[in-house]
């Protein structure tokens, strides 16, 4: 199922629930939206990807690499080198849990903060041609993957605009900023003043990131609580690829990328 199909399906589901809520019963939690603040918790899944700009001058150069960990050194008894042809992102799913704090600013505006923890991994795939070491004839393809396990602390601050309430349903849109800090174990260590790495397949990213966030969703009012469902997109402002020199790292893993910025699609359920 594609992302657009998933969003359309969720919106149709929300609209059908809203239509059903208009027909029956008395509105729940009538005074809820007039309280000055609310608290709750959040559960979410998200799809973390990258917006990548590649250095095509470096990729298209005649440089070859013959010391890549895991790459075949021979194909059909022919010595080969690896030539980088392209870099692609490999989206991964993360799970998020967090707290919700909401401050009422007016009848339609709320300021929300949702400190959260996200768990998952990120990766990039490097496609290399296996070239005959003597004639430079293409002998096949090798895919080299760099991965990084991540545990993020997230601090989103959002301004939410809510539309008119219809029985027990209320639509909203929101925008804001999200700060992220990755406190997962650093795969590098200090060695003689220069960072070294025990596994060249690990991807090095900066720990901090700042993203802009946009989203939309619906709040559903039940007898004892309010449940919110929303979809958001987050886009990073900064290049998060760590370019510090690393002993033993793959030479082209950073030099072939001009910038690497995060982007995240997230589906969240909140209970307040």
- Domains, in order of start, for the chain: 3-271 (2.40.160.20)
Q: Using CA atoms, how far apart are residues 158 and 155, in angstroms rounded to an integer?
A: 10
Distance CA 124, CA 69 (A): 15
Between CA 154 and CA 207 the distance in angstroms is: 12
Mean pLDDT (the chain, rounded): 79
Residue 263 tokens, joined: 């982007």
pLDDT tier for residue 246 given thresholds of 50, 70 and 90: low
CA distances from 131 to 65, 78, 87, 126, 201 (A): 10, 9, 18, 15, 21
Q: In this structure, what token pair is assigned to residue 175?
A: 């925008």
CA distances to 35, 37, 52, 64, 174 from 166, rounded to whole Å, are 18, 21, 43, 64, 19
Identify the pLDDT of residue 75.
Answer: 74
Summarize the confidence of residues 212-229 as an average pLDDT. 94
Average pLDDT over residues 130-144: 78
What pLDDT, on a 0 to 100 scale, did the predictor assign at position 80? 75
Report the alpha-carbon distance of residue 176 to residue 111 in Å, rounded: 10
pLDDT digits (tens, 9 = 90+) for 169-196: 999 999 999 999 988 766 554 444 445 5
* Band of pLDDT at residue 12, cut at 50, 70 and 90: low
> Given the structure tokens 């309010």, which residue do they identify?
226
Per-residue model confidence (pLDDT) at position 190 = 44
Question: Poorest-confidence range of 54-68, 143-157, 172-186?
Answer: 54-68
The pLDDT of residue 191 is: 45
> Taking the mean position of all CA atoms in its chain, how far away is CA 29?
35
pLDDT of residue 251: 59
Cα separation, 231 vs 214, whole angstroms: 9
- At 141 the pLDDT is 81
- For residue 60 the two structure tokens come to 């298209």
């Amino acid at each position: 199922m594609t992302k657009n199909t998933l969003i359309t399906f969720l919106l149709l589901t929300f609209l059908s629930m809203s239509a059903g809520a208009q027909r029956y019963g008395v509105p729940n939690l009538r005074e809820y939206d007039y309280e000055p603040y609310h608290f709750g918790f959040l559960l979410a899944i998200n799809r973390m990807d990258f917006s990548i700009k590649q250095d095509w001058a470096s990729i298209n150069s005649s440089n070859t690499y013959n010391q890549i960990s895991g790459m075949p050194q021979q194909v059909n008894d022919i010595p080969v080198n690896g030539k980088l042809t392209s870099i692609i992102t490999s989206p991964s799913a993360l799970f998020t849990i967090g707290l919700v704090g909401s401050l009422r600013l007016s009848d339609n505006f709320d300021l929300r903060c949702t400190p959260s923890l996200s768990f998952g991994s990120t990766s990039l795939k490097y496609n290399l041609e296996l070239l005959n070491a003597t004639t430079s004839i293409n002998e096949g393809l090798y895919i080299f993957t760099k991965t990084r396990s991540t545990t993020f602390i997230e601090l989103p601050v959002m301004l939410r605009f809510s539309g008119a309430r219809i029985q027990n349903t209320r639509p909203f849109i929101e925008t804001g900023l999200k700060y992220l800090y990755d406190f997962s174990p650093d795969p590098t260590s200090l060695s003689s003043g220069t960072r070294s790495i025990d596994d060249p397949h690990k991807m090095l990213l900066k720990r901090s990131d700042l993203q802009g966030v946009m989203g939309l969703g619906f709040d559903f009012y039940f007898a004892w609580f309010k449940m919110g469902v929303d979809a958001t997109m987050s886009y990073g402002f900064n290049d998060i690829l760590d370019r510090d020199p690393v002993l033993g790292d793959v030479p082209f893993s950073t030099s072939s990328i001009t910038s690497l910025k995060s982007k995240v699609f997230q589906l969240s359920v909140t209970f307040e």
